[in-house]
Amino acid sequence: MFSVTAQERDVSITSINFHASQSAGVQVQLYTRRGSFEGFELSDNGWNLLFDDQIITNPRSDPNVLDGFYVIVPSGETQSFFLYIEGESIRVMYEPLANIQQASFSNGPLRFDQGIGKMSKFVAGDESLLYPGRIMQGRIT
């Protein structure tokens, strides 16, 4: 789960690249919501499903591409994303903040803010499966 902020102008997002823990045939879902994910980690309130399909993920070192959607992030606004893989044996890869120098970084017009790793979908009271202080290993285009 992570947030991006459009810094200089409106930004259109049409794909997300991510790394998975291993290669496998899995169901992948991508959700989005306007604003920060904070306070909505365990609730589906305000989240909209953008992508829901079966894919075969690449090995850990090779990115996977999700596309076929269109999200506009207005200048100065924040948009959050939650990428979920069904199943116990495969995970979306995030980089712990301890391994990097900063809690956010910019990619031209977008600022990527620190996110969380998450082991479940929307399960109220399941805070034990949240891993704060993560940056997604991937790319948005």
* Distance from the first to the final alpha carbon of the chain: 17
pLDDT of residue 139: 65
Distance separating alpha carbons of residues 109 and 89, to the nearest angstrom: 35
> DSSP of 35-94, one letter per residue?
S--TT-SS--TT-EEEEEEEEEPPPTTS-EEEEEEEEEE-TT-EEEEEEEE-SSS--B-E
Q: What stretches in the chain show pLDDT beneath 70?
A: 94-107, 135-139, 141
pTM of structure = 0.87
Residue 110 CA neighbour count, 13 Å, CB half: 16
- Nearest 10 degrees: Cα torsion 46, 102, 94, 77: 20
pLDDT of residue 44: 94
DSSP-assigned beta bridge partners for residue 56? 25
pLDDT of residue 137: 60
- For the chain, the domains span 2-140
pLDDT of residue 106: 65
Q: In CATH, what is the architecture of 2-140?
A: Sandwich (2.60)
Q: Which two tokens stand for residue 33?
A: 């919501």
Distance separating alpha carbons of residues 26 and 9, to the nearest angstrom: 35
- Nearest 10 degrees: Cα torsion 67, 71, 76, 77: -110
Render pLDDT for 89-106 as a digit per residue (tens, 0 to 9): 788 876 655 555 555 556
pLDDT of residue 67: 94
pLDDT of residue 87: 78
